[in-house]
Homo-oligomer: A and B are copies of this chain.
Amino acid sequence: MTVEVAASVHPSEPAVPIARRIVAEGLGTAFLLMAVVGSGVMAERLSGGNLALALLANTIATGAALVVLISIFGPISGAHFNPAVTLFFALRREIQPATATFYVIVQIAAAIAGVAIAHAMFGMALAEVSTKLRDGPAQALSEFVATFGLLVTIAGSVRFSPALTPALVGLYITAAYWFTASTSFANPAVTIARSLTNSFAGIAPSSAPAFIGAQIAAALAGYLMLGWLFEGRATPSTSTHSTSL
């Protein structure tokens, strides 16, 4: 239907032009960051200092947004929204290195744009520098566990019930916001973008590298272990490189 070149499409999938994939990946990542940061600002303003209530609202908004965004953008771009996920699929050779590089650049740029739009909606400066330290080995371990669990969820869903991937990823993050000490960033693009908000969801730039390192380590660990655990392939009618149907 178009002469544009589709990049890195798995043979069983209909070709989607790269321009639409990039727009889907960017729009989805921007909305994800709006959901994370915007709901954090709203929750902080309304919760009267009760951090559990603020995190609960932040959790529900983020989980709900993820289900929606993966459902509607998954069939176009795979709905990674996350360099760690893109790296995982690149290691599994389900996305080409060149496309993966495009994806990561778009994810980071769109994540930053999403924070800026969230700030604009709440009448704040478009970018701030976070002062919220999230340091130490327990935080790094949390990010490793959070990201590894995310990849277990994605790999298992894609293998056994691709149509449920959006719901399962949304539910996983809903749980992981609470069961990890870091509130489960689990995403390098999200980590970078959240260093630019000095609100509830922020992370001090000095804390970001350890988070990103742990996330990348988890992508490698996931690649090494999950191929065996979830061996076999999704049925041909479902995408194997996509995080959603």
- The residues of A with any CB-CB pair to B shorter than 8 Å are 1, 20, 23-24, 27, 31, 34-39, 42-43, 46-65, 67-68, 71-76, 117-118, 120-123, 136, 138, 141-142, 145, 149, 152-153, 155-157, 159-161, 163-164, 167-168, 170-172, 174-175, 177-182, 228-232, 245
Most B CB within 10 A of own CB, among A59, A60, A159: A60
User: Given that A52-B47, A52-B50, A64-B63 are known contacts, is A168 also in contact with B123, CB under 8 Å in the complex?
Assistant: no
Closest B residue, CB atoms, query A174: B64
Q: Do A117 and B136 touch across chains, with their CB atoms under 8 A apart?
A: no
Q: Do A34 and B123 touch across chains, with their CB atoms under 8 A apart?
A: no
Query: What CA separation (Å) do A179 and B153 show in the bound complex?
Result: 25
Query: What CA separation (Å) do A62 and B27 show in the bound complex?
Result: 25
Query: What CA separation (Å) do A156 and B47 show in the bound complex?
Result: 33
Q: Do A145 and B161 touch across chains, with their CB atoms under 8 A apart?
A: no
Q: Do B68 and A178 touch across chains, with their CB atoms under 8 A apart?
A: no
Query: What CA separation (Å) do A52 and B45 show in the bound complex?
Result: 8
List the B side residues contacting A62 at CB < 8 Å. Answer: 175
Q: Do B60 and A52 touch across chains, with their CB atoms under 8 A apart?
A: no
Closest B residue, CB atoms, query A23: B229
User: Given that A138-B123, A181-B123 are known contacts, is A71 also in contact with B164, CB under 8 Å in the complex?
Assistant: yes
Q: Do A52 and B57 touch across chains, with their CB atoms under 8 A apart?
A: yes
Closest B residue, CB atoms, query A160: B75
Q: Do B149 and A120 touch across chains, with their CB atoms under 8 A apart?
A: no
